[in-house]
Amino acid sequence: MEKIPERIGSKYRFIIIAAERAKQLQSGAKAKMKTKSTKPAHVAMREVEEDLIDFEIVQLDPDRAEAPKL
């Protein structure tokens, strides 16, 4: 992880976005850039670093949030 785009704001959000993108790549989505690596996680991190991935931060409504089921 070389650089985190400023609009992402934290390394934790970076990892979550990259992980979701890696899942998309594993499911057959096309990469948005060429890389030497074919590993979905590496490709996803590079795409996020280059700010090629759009994302939306959704705020949960605490009144409607459900308790986690165990």
Asked, for residue 2, whether it belongs to a domain, the answer is yes
- Domain of 52? 1-56
Asked, for residue 33, whether it belongs to a domain, the answer is yes
Asked whether 43 and 25 are in contact (CB, 8 A), the reply is yes
Asked, for residue 69, whether it belongs to a domain, the answer is no
Number of structural domains (the chain) is 1
Q: Is the pTM of this model over 0.95?
A: no
Asked whether 17 and 53 are in contact (CB, 8 A), the reply is yes
Decide: helix, strand or coil at residue 26: helix
Dump pLDDT digits (tens) for 14-68. 999 999 999 999 999 999 999 899 899 999 999 999 999 988 877 777 777 665 5
